Amino acid sequence: AQSVSQHNHHVILSEAASLELGCNYSYGGTVNLFWYVQYPGQHLQLLLKYFSGDPLVKGIKGFEAEFIKSKFSFNLRKPSVQWSDTAEYFCAVEGNNAGNMLTFGGGTRLMVKP
């Protein structure tokens, strides 16, 4: 079975600080990896995804994530956060032989102070 761990449950940053949210997964085969974001009062939205090619993936709003296969990691980064980045962030993995559904991490609540 696959699993996803997000080690930071709550993160508080000031505007312009750099962000890195950790995501580690366990699955022995080929994976597709995702980050979703849920802004306050809104539904989950896809932030970025990786399924092949360049392991450094760029998403919307200046976010990027790097797939490091040897570390089973897919950490999310942003060089300079804004107050509007306050949201909950979910990492998810889809294993190619794991029934086509996504397994999500527990989420990280990010609060950016203006």
Residues at the interface with another protein (CB under 8 A): 4, 6, 32, 34, 36, 42-46, 49, 51, 90, 92, 94, 96, 99-107
Q: What size, in residues, is the chain?
A: 114
By three-state DSSP, how is residue 79 classified?
A: coil
Nearer to another protein, 68 or 101 (CB): 101
The kind and range of the H/E element at 73 are strand 73-78
By three-state DSSP, how is residue 14 classified?
A: strand
Give least dist CB 81 to another protein, A.
22
Nearer to another protein, 19 or 48 (CB): 48
Per the CB < 8 A criterion, the answer to whether 66 and 9 are in contact is no
Nearer to another protein, 10 or 113 (CB): 10
